[in-house]
Amino acid sequence: MALRIVANRPDPALLALPWAIPLEEWTEHVVPLPRGISRHVVRIVRLGDNTYAVKETVEEIAFREYRLLRDLQRLGLPAVVPQGVVTGRVDAEGAELPAALLTQHLQFSLPYRSLFSHGLTADNLPSLIDAMVVLLVRLHLADFYWGDVSLSNVLFRRNAGGFAAYLVDAETGELKPTLSDALREYDLTVATENVFAELLDLQASESLDHEVQAHEIVEMLVERYHALWDELTSSEEFSSGELWRIERRVERLNELGFDVDELDIVTDWDGDRIRIQPKVVEEGHHRRELQALTGLNVEDAQAQRMLNDIASYTASLGLGREDRALVANRWLTEIYEPVMAMVPAEARGKLEPAEIFHELLVHRWYLSERAGHEVGIVETAQDYIDNVLLQKPEEAVAAEE
């Protein structure tokens, strides 16, 4: 049987992997990046500058998940990026080995268990649940039925003190022409059951405080899902004298990080009452705005924090009448880039640059409050690097659990 590799952008280095050996026996090219719990054998491998997750599974399922992940990528949804499928594997005796699905490793991402081993506490659970809720709502807005919602099937990236969630396992998923309310509710039910069990498991392993009430966390998950779904999709009715509420609704959705593609506006027969319903297309409003201004591609909450700092920088220098893109470029070259250049090489795997900058801004606030005056960004950066960043665990490459 001939080895066959189907890939979106083929990496010739993939041929160097030991495909004739069962995945659980791999040692060459394997890197110590944390992995979540999976029903399949999974290994993280590095080939040159590229890092991939390799999962053994049935050939039909591998191709189905590969195509589905490509669809999610095309729709701009937060999921791991598929690299390819390898079939035709046989061992030294000629026995068939499972097919393998390859996805690109999501840099600076961690499974939920690793987050708790890296210092996450019960106080961070609401942020983690919020990230999962946003992911689930975004998938449902795109008519994606997940079928196996759980913390184990998500990777988390830090996002300005909170988290951004990415789907990592689409094996049970399906893109529907229209996702019914019944399937949405079923996904939500599965999420509550799985998250409840995962929290209990964390408590049993003493990774989570036993004071945490798992049932309260899953109730919060359901409440926040319905609140966000309603905010993004529900219609709103008001009088013709309250047209400002149209703009406020759009602003509120933008503040949540979502863009509005169009508004469905319906008036009654005499125009006295108006009903609007937004069509929300995607999350990432602040991310796209920052990228257009500076070229930086970061998570949405990180982008919002940077945009706020650009606004403060603009005000402090009296540049309010200057072209915003020019001011943003000046902020980039005078503030952001010099600060990032101060980070020593040995600390660059601790956090991604945008999260470092967010933590640095928080640190400046604390230093300024303690000093009774505004502390400069360079002085803040040096203090943060010496006393905070260098003490953090490595997240780009971390020891396995």
Asked if residue 269 is part of any domain, the answer here is yes
Which residue reads 């409050």 in tokens? Answer: 369
Instruction: Return d(Cα 210, Cα 207) in angstroms, integer.
Output: 9
Q: Residue 227 maps to which CATH number? A: 1.10.510.10
Whether residue 26 is found in the same domain as residue 99: yes
Burial 274-304 (b: 16+ CB within 10 A, else e): bebebebebbbbbbebbeebbebebbbbbbb
- Given 233, 257, 275, the domain boundary residue is 233
Whether residue 99 is found in the same domain as residue 132: no
CB 349 within 8 A of CB 396: yes
Q: Which residue has the higher pLDDT, 102 or 115?
A: 102
The rounded mean pLDDT for the chain is: 88
pLDDT in tens, 272-312: 677 777 777 667 888 889 999 999 999 988 998 999 999 98
pTM listed for this prediction: 0.80
Whether residue 361 is found in the same domain as residue 315: yes
Q: Strand order of the sheet with strand 273-283?
A: 236-239, 273-283, 258-267
Asked if residue 288 is part of any domain, the answer here is no
Angle at 290 between CA 163 and CA 298, to 5 degrees: 35
Asked if residue 169 is part of any domain, the answer here is yes
Asked if residue 401 is part of any domain, the answer here is no
Whether residue 82 is found in the same domain as residue 173: no
Cα Rg of the chain, angstroms: 24
Q: Which residue has the higher pLDDT, 330 or 254?
A: 330
Q: Residue 71 maps to which CATH number? A: 3.30.200
Domain count, the chain: 4
Asked if residue 181 is part of any domain, the answer here is yes
Whether residue 194 is found in the same domain as residue 124: yes
Whether residue 101 is found in the same domain as residue 144: no
- In sign, the C-alpha dihedral spanning 188, 233, 301, 80 is positive
Asked if residue 253 is part of any domain, the answer here is yes
CA distances from 32 to 37, 47, 166, 398 (A): 15, 14, 20, 6
pLDDT of residue 87: 95
Q: What's the longest Cα–Cα distance across the chain?
A: 81
Whether residue 201 is found in the same domain as residue 310: no
Whether residue 226 is found in the same domain as residue 115: yes
pLDDT of residue 35: 60
Whether residue 187 is found in the same domain as residue 125: yes
pLDDT of residue 162: 85
Whether residue 220 is found in the same domain as residue 276: no
Asked if residue 255 is part of any domain, the answer here is yes
Asked if residue 248 is part of any domain, the answer here is yes
- Domain extent, residue 367, equals 297-391
pLDDT of residue 398: 43
